[in-house]
Amino acid sequence: MTDRFYITTPIYYPNAEPHLGSYYTTAVADTLARYHRLKGDATYFLTGTDEHGTKMAKTAAEQGITPQALVDRVSSSFRDFWKELGISNDDFIRTTEPRHKAAVTEVVRKLVASGDIYLGSYESWYDEGQEEFVTESAAKAQEYKSAITKRPLVRFKEATYFFKLSKYVPKVLQYIKENPDFVRPEIRRNEVVSKLEQGVNDLAISRATLKWGIPMANDPEHVVYVWIDALTNYISALGYGSEDDSKFRTFWPADVHLIAKDILWFHTVYWPAMLFALDLPLPKTVYAHGYWTANGEKMGKSLGNIVDIAKLRKFIGLYGQDALRFYVIRAAPFGADLDWSDTEFIRTYVELGNVVGNLLNRVLNMTNKYRNGVLPAVGPGDNADLNLADATRAFGGKLHAAYANLELQQCATLPVELARAANAYIDQTAPFKLAKDPTQAARLDTVLNLSTQAVYQALVGLLPILPIKAAAGLQQLGVTVGNKTLGELLDQPLPTGHQLGVGQVLFPKVEIAE
Ligand code: MSP
């Protein structure tokens, strides 16, 4: 039986262009999706845009256009930019699409029918940037400013429908405690648990004053609060509640909802409560990664301190989309905050060339020169040979474990470390000296074989992060990836007698014109 894997990113607000932050989550999701596809898992990777709510209505008004015109334009910009960056999403959901509206309507209908939605009246502080109500005590502690954007909170009062969140809180809390994989990393789980233990009120889920949203199924004078609308994307895209819900039946529950810590609460409290109320299974993992920061502050559209599309384009233009993906994934242990650095980007790229590119070149040059490009058999070995052979053999298992544990940084560094070990091995065994001594022919065979196997494994291991470069490197080794699975590629060494190709520089030197 094939495993299945469903991974999602947050659906981004199309009130401003994509940037490094939204790219990062999407690139991580892309890497995990590529890994699972390569593994042979039935994989579904969803991203999209979150198009309703005050924020969109306000931005459109500021620009003198309709909300629809705004979201059409910016949503396309997300979709196009992901294509340009080689993001391999299987679907792109927009919350203004009929399929999504139908699912939200169905969700509200069900919650009304089960008695989990009731009419009340609501007065509160509201964080417009985050589309979030803020309690009096939290508002006071934040000096009546948004904790995230630092903009002033606004006062809000109206007749509102409520979702009985408090009824589900004990169940959510128990679930989080009993399922350590549900909220990750652990520091985020602890945060949610301690906030939940302080008690939670019911959730206002409708707005009568706002028109830019999906009408409540039971009362079209109200529109659905944006988080109920937005979270439903994870099932609406799979056809939940529609005639053809085959994808929903195949892929739900999600394996990983990837988010950053800014939207942890919604995904680990509101969403599981909604799913409990709908009698649906919960996603296996909600993983909240860290922030890209600039001078210690979260990079964000509202703060104006972002690495924007133009800058990302500049780097892709110079180094390619693979190098960008590799840099962001390697930049910090997954979960921690990250800092963009031009210098570090370039250093990472140069390292790929010096370690992986260089190893590939050495292997191809030597094997072509000494053995006409035909992979020789492994002969008798000494300790150095055994060490490299062991490292190569252990590589696949380590890589699978890193992916299974979502240790993304490890996924990037393990292949590079294997290549580094193989370079050191070549330095130590000095094949050019062995080639001069006919009595050392068998030993030279061993060195050539083992270093070829190491670069082969390293390149296969890099496929999810460097899909273009790693496939090109493998092609030079005479291996076409095609539809082969990771198992087929990693579990078998290259056979003796395999014909290698010709070396070409994989990570060319980049001259930067200032
Ligand atoms: N529309 C909501 C999400 C609804 S999901 C059902 C939203 N959108 S957003 O456009 O603000 O995107 C937030 C997400 O973008 C973060 O959770 C994260 O995935 C990504 N990031 C935005 N800025 C970021 C950083 N500075 N650093 C890391 N990730 C960032 O919230």
Per-residue pLDDT of the chain (514 residues; tens, 9 = 90+): 569 999 999 999 999 999 999 999 999 999 999 999 999 999 999 999 999 998 999 999 999 999 999 999 999 999 999 999 999 999 999 999 999 999 999 999 999 999 999 999 888 899 988 888 888 888 999 999 998 889 999 998 888 999 999 999 999 999 999 999 999 999 999 999 999 999 999 999 998 878 899 999 999 999 998 999 999 999 999 999 999 999 999 999 999 999 999 999 999 999 999 999 999 999 999 999 999 998 778 887 777 778 999 999 999 999 999 999 999 999 999 999 999 999 999 999 999 999 999 999 999 999 999 999 999 999 878 899 999 999 999 999 999 999 999 999 999 999 999 999 999 999 999 999 999 999 999 999 999 999 999 999 999 999 999 999 999 999 999 999 999 999 999 999 999 999 999 999 999 999 776 5
In short, whether 307's Cβ falls inside 6 Å of ligand 1 is: no
Tell me, in angstroms, the distance from the centre of ligand 1 to residue 14's CA: 11
- Element (DSSP H or E) covering residue 162: strand 154-163
User: Distance between CA 81 and CA 483 in Å, rounded?
Assistant: 26
Q: Which two tokens stand for residue 443?
A: 């030993």
In short, whether 230's Cβ falls inside 6 Å of ligand 1 is: yes
Q: Which two tokens stand for residue 18?
A: 């994509």
**pLDDT at 132 (0 to 100):** 82
Q: Supply the DSSP string of 302-339, one letter for each residue.
A: TTT---BHHHHHHHHHHH-HHHHHHHHHHSSSTTS-EE
**pLDDT at 514 (0 to 100):** 53
In short, whether 212's Cβ falls inside 6 Å of ligand 1 is: no
In short, whether 50's Cβ falls inside 6 Å of ligand 1 is: yes
Residue whose tokens read 């944006």: 226
Tell me, in angstroms, the distance from the centre of ligand 1 to residue 144's CA: 22
DSSP 223: E
In short, whether 476's Cβ falls inside 6 Å of ligand 1 is: no
**pLDDT at 513 (0 to 100):** 62
User: Distance between CA 99 and CA 430 in Å, rounded?
Assistant: 63
**pLDDT at 122 (0 to 100):** 81
In short, whether 291's Cβ falls inside 6 Å of ligand 1 is: yes
In short, whether 235's Cβ falls inside 6 Å of ligand 1 is: no
In degrees and rounded to multiples of 5, residue 5 shows phi and psi of -145, 120
**pLDDT at 156 (0 to 100):** 83
Ligand 1: which residue has its CA nearest to atom 6? 231
Tell me, in angstroms, the distance from the centre of ligand 1 to residue 291's CA: 9
Tell me, in angstroms, the distance from the centre of ligand 1 to residue 234's CA: 15
User: Distance between CA 193 and CA 174 in Å, rounded?
Assistant: 9
For residue 230, the ligand 1 atom closest to its alpha carbon is 6
Ligand 1: which residue has its CA nearest to atom 27? 291
User: Distance between CA 285 and CA 7 in Å, rounded?
Assistant: 10
Q: Which two tokens stand for residue 352?
A: 């790929």
User: Distance between CA 76 and CA 48 in Å, rounded?
Assistant: 10
Q: Which two tokens stand for residue 158?
A: 């109206």
Q: Which two tokens stand for residue 365?
A: 């040059």
In short, whether 206's Cβ falls inside 6 Å of ligand 1 is: no
Q: Which two tokens stand for residue 349?
A: 């790229």
Ligand 1: which residue has its CA nearest to atom 8? 12
Tell me, in angstroms, the distance from the centre of ligand 1 to residue 263's CA: 7
Tell me, in angstroms, the distance from the centre of ligand 1 to residue 128's CA: 15
**pLDDT at 135 (0 to 100):** 84
In short, whether 231's Cβ falls inside 6 Å of ligand 1 is: yes
In short, whether 364's Cβ falls inside 6 Å of ligand 1 is: no
- 184, 286 Cβ separation under 8 angstroms: yes
Tell me, in angstroms, the distance from the centre of ligand 1 to residue 66's CA: 23
In short, whether 262's Cβ falls inside 6 Å of ligand 1 is: yes
DSSP 384: H
Tell me, in angstroms, the distance from the centre of ligand 1 to residue 25's CA: 8
- 349, 322 Cβ separation under 8 angstroms: no
- Classify residue 468 by burial, with Cβ atoms within 10 Å: 0-12, 13-18, 19+: middle
Number of neighbours of residue 279 by Cβ within 10 angstroms: 8
Ligand 1: which residue has its CA nearest to atom 24? 21
Q: Is 478 left (phi over 0), alpha (psi -120 to 50) or beta?
A: left
Q: Which two tokens stand for residue 422?
A: 């193989």
Ligand 1: which residue has its CA nearest to atom 15? 22
Q: Nearest-CA neighbor of 220 among 380, 108, 52? A: 108
Looking at the chain, the number of H-run helices and the number of E-run strands are: 22, 16
Tell me, in angstroms, the distance from the centre of ligand 1 to residue 287's CA: 13
- 36, 5 Cβ separation under 8 angstroms: yes
User: Distance between CA 276 and CA 260 in Å, rounded?
Assistant: 23
- 178, 272 Cβ separation under 8 angstroms: no
In short, whether 13's Cβ falls inside 6 Å of ligand 1 is: yes
- 261, 289 Cβ separation under 8 angstroms: yes
In short, whether 255's Cβ falls inside 6 Å of ligand 1 is: no
**pLDDT at 201 (0 to 100):** 92
Q: Which two tokens stand for residue 508?
A: 């060319």
In short, whether 47's Cβ falls inside 6 Å of ligand 1 is: no
For residue 290, the ligand 1 atom closest to its alpha carbon is 28
- Element (DSSP H or E) covering residue 31: helix 20-39
Q: Which two tokens stand for residue 131?
A: 């589309």
Angle at 126 between CA 124 and CA 129, to 5 degrees: 175
